[in-house]
Structure 1
Amino acid sequence: MDQIPCLDILIYAHDGRGLGHASRSIAVGMAVRRLFPELKVLFVSGCRLSQELIGSAPLDWLKLPSYETKVEMGKSRGIAGRSLYTDTQLGRLRAEELRHLTKLYRPRLVLVDHTPQGKHKELVPALSANDSRDTIWVLGVRGVVGEVPQTRSELAATLFAQHYHSMLWYGDSTVLGPSHRRLLQQRFATDPVECGYVLRLAELAFWHNPLPVPATSPAGTIAIPWLGEESLRFLACLAEALQKIPVSFGCWYLFIDTGAEPETQRAIGALFREVENCRIEPPGGNYVPTLLHSKTAVVYGGYNSIMDILHVRIPALIVYREMADEEQRIHLERIVGATGEQVAMISESRVSAGELEELLLNNLGSKKAPTYGIMTDGASSAAKYLCRLLS
């Protein structure tokens, strides 16, 4: 196997509840393939929607068995995944798989998203096996980390100090202020490289040109990547609001991951059965062209969805969940301040049908915004930094 060239860059993202970890990592991988097409790059994750996020970009990837989580009282806990292994069992299996992958492909550089140890410490065996220091390890962190225990642990700081070369920060200090970057600096005793926000759609546009036009003119795109405790209540309010909006505005496209439970799927179908000009489908290839041609959007407040809205610049409602780590709320408040009246934040658990109707009608009468004064070249910046490390 030594006669086979080493992999240049292995990009790892653990599969969280949403798509932010995978989306950021995939965007950086796309930027590497665009700017440095001679480099061999591989993305690895358990995210089931990775191929939909990659599209036709020439970024290859390996699928790990997926973790599953359930949110209760604003906190997530691991449950058995679709492979029916428990959270703990799957963590041990994936840890061994990742150790084997790094041994087999011998990457010159590994880019890790979010935490040095990976989900359930699954990167620890691979890190420990890198005794010769032949591989450069780099950590990439979102703009607002939030109160995530894994990033605040002594293990995270120790592993970073022992095995990692540097840290990339996917945020903009002019929007978020200096505190988030300073916190990382203090916690990991390093100076994070400020890359700016990572916009997957900006990278995807390079490989998808032109994109197909939706068959029916869209009024708006509504994207819900995962269902939480209050999601069905919110969807009931949304269905009531959409029923009162004139059909002349166009069709509403709902991209909802309804999960594997037939009961939940039937409940969502029943909510929107009476709504004219409404289409429901799982997240997939139609999402991007529909969003690009929409007058407005309703998305949830994860990193991936916010970046999509920054890219298209249409008026949007961003829904935030009442989570214990408060990452979404903190981040959204800063984004709303930077985008003016184009983006409004609403609480999933508290918004009413009447409020939704009023906000959506207002957005349908608004126009696309000029470019925002936000650093959004994070994918290219990260790709260039990684290439400098390799050279």
Structure 2
Amino acid sequence: MTVRLNDARILMYSHDSFGLGHLRRCRTIAHALVEDYRGLNVLIISGATIAGAFDYRARVDFVKIPSVIKLRNGEYTSLDQHIDLQETLKMRRSIIYHTAESFQPDIFIVDKEPMGLRGEVEETLTYLKSRGTKLVIGLRDVMDAPQLLEAEWKRNDVLNKIERFYDHVWVYGPPDFHDPLSGLEVPPGVREKTEFVGFLQRSKTRGDNPNRHEEDYILVTTGGGGDGSELIDDVIRAYKFDRSLTQKALVVLGPYMPTEQRQKFAANVADIPQMEIIDFDNRMEDLVAGAQGVVSMGGYNTVCEILSFDKPALVVPRIVPREEQLIRASRASELGLFDMLSPEEAENPELMAKALKALLKRPPPSANGRNMKLDGLENISRRVAEWLQPDDTPNVISATA
């Protein structure tokens, strides 16, 4: 039931240096919360270059900060190469702080990066903590390989800062799937604050003509597309190698795929009538829901969509600069939720063709019956209600009242 809260405000931070995962996760949570609570307003701070390409529900808005992109070697650079990185980071810190100062949120939810990109939210955390804002860090089900994450976080004393600043640590996955902090020396205070809320369930959008593709198809998606060219290459080579692959493949390149790669792929599929390539769709949920199967790299949001719509899936994970997708795909494959090929295996067109054919015969994830907890949005909504409803307030008013 939708209930009314009086002028409650949630601020979310999504650093968005590579891909769309952080913004899409924040947007999913924000939309669920405004659906549940009238009178609640959510503002998302995002560095995504295409933040404005998505639809936002009433009472959800975003503030765009200057974009910083992450290179394949893990380093950062300003999207506008005429502006020094340090100047860009200085502008971002200032906008984040003054947005929080003006918006005065009741809750501040930070996605994945506890101190923000290069520590850019620490000043804001200090300010909001001083005024009693509830501070939450939301972590993916998988962050990275423990040795890589530990090295990164030790340099910046991140775990101790989580203990000092944050009131709650949310893990966006079930506890029996994966612990993102496993292998780290986690302070007891951080463990006490940690709650595994569950995967974030997705649903079809409310737009007109929600599925524009009427034929049966396999969906091939690389998320943002900045690092997805190898997967697209692998699928195209498989279709060229095995002409008995007649199933339609709908390939979504992603908005961050370089122009020269887009042009190359368009030329490469000219003689493959069953392959259709599109650049971007801001309603990926609908494309997943309409697919017979999904081929992806195993990013968090796509996996949530695969599980939410119960689609057979083949995952070829990225292994650099982070091992997050490899860990997630390996665990899901171990549990029988979907199939996985290593990047080396996927480069073999014969193996890839066999995997694509097997995908059409594969049972959906629900056939396994385990680790399908998709109650993250419900659990988050319940926590928010506990925090935003004072104990001495009468029962909340139904939106239909």
CA–CA separation in structure 2 for the residues paired with 1:318 and 1:53: 25
Partner of 1:101: 99
Change (3 A) 1:98 1:84: same
Change (3 A) 1:6 1:93: farther
8 Å CA contact 1:108, 1:136 repeated in 2: yes
Structure 1 stretches of 4+ with a deviation exceeding 6 A read none
Partner of 1:343: 338
Partner of 2:47: 46
1:242 to 239, 242, 261: 239
8 Å CA contact 1:15, 1:47 repeated in 2: yes
1:315 equivalenced with 2:312 (yes/no): yes
Change (3 A) 1:211 1:57: farther
Equivalences for residues 239-278 of structure 1 within 5 A:
239-243=236-240, 244-246=242-244, 249=247, 251-257=248-254, 259=256, 261-278=258-275
Q: SS where residue 167 of structure 1 aligns?
A: strand
Partner of 2:288: 291
1:160 to 155, 159, 162: 162
**Uncovered stretches (5+) of structure 2, i.e. residues with no partner:** 1-5, 390-401
CA–CA separation in structure 1 for the residues paired with 2:83 and 2:99: 21
Indicate the percent of aligned positions where both proteins have the same amino acid: 19
Residue 106 of structure 1: CA displacement? 0.9
1:89 equivalenced with 2:84 (yes/no): no
8 Å CA contact 2:223, 2:299 repeated in 1: no
Equivalences for residues 127-206 of structure 1 within 5 A:
127-130=125-128, 132-146=130-144, 147-148=148-149, 149-176=151-178, 180=182, 184=186, 186=188, 188=190, 190-199=192-201, 201-202=202-203, 205=204
8 Å CA contact 1:23, 1:53 repeated in 2: no
Partner of 1:80: 78
Partner of 2:16: 15
Residue range with higher mean Cα deviation, 139-148 or 5-14 = 5-14
What TM-score, normalized by structure 2, do the two folds share?
A: 0.83
8 Å CA contact 1:247, 1:276 repeated in 2: no
Partner of 1:360: 356
CA–CA separation in structure 1 for the residues paired with 2:280 and 2:90: 29
Change (3 A) 1:187 1:47: farther
8 Å CA contact 2:129, 2:165 repeated in 1: no
CA–CA separation in structure 1 for the residues paired with 2:215 and 2:281: 18
Q: SS where residue 172 of structure 1 aligns?
A: coil
Q: SS where residue 175 of structure 1 aligns?
A: coil
CA–CA separation in structure 2 for the residues paired with 1:183 and 1:20: 27
Residue 325 of structure 1: CA displacement? 3.8
Residue range with higher mean Cα deviation, 23-32 or 95-104 = 23-32
CA–CA separation in structure 2 for the residues paired with 1:51 and 1:59: 12
What TM-score, normalized by structure 1, do the two folds share?
A: 0.85
Equivalences for residues 54-65 of structure 1 within 5 A:
54=55, 59-65=60-66
Per-residue CA shift, 1:111-164, capped at 9, x if unaligned?
111122111111022123336333221111111222334444453234323322
1:110 equivalenced with 2:99 (yes/no): no
CA–CA separation in structure 2 for the residues paired with 1:322 and 1:182: 20
Q: SS where residue 39 of structure 1 aligns?
A: strand
Residue range with higher mean Cα deviation, 43-52 or 182-191 = 182-191
CA–CA separation in structure 1 for the residues paired with 2:180 and 2:186: 10
Superposition CA RMSD, Å: 2.9
1:25 equivalenced with 2:26 (yes/no): yes
CA–CA separation in structure 2 for the residues paired with 1:19 and 1:377: 22
Change (3 A) 1:278 1:155: same
CA–CA separation in structure 2 for the residues paired with 1:269 and 1:353: 19
> Which amino acid in structure 1 is aligned with residue 328 of structure 2?
H
Higher helix share goes to which structure? 1
CA–CA separation in structure 2 for the residues paired with 1:241 and 1:218: 19
Partner of 1:384: 382
Change (3 A) 1:218 1:79: farther
Residue 33 of structure 1: CA displacement? 0.9
Residue 221 of structure 1: CA displacement? 0.6
8 Å CA contact 1:245, 1:361 repeated in 2: no
Q: SS where residue 18 of structure 1 aligns?
A: coil
Q: SS where residue 280 of structure 1 aligns?
A: strand
8 Å CA contact 2:136, 2:167 repeated in 1: yes
Change (3 A) 1:211 1:59: farther
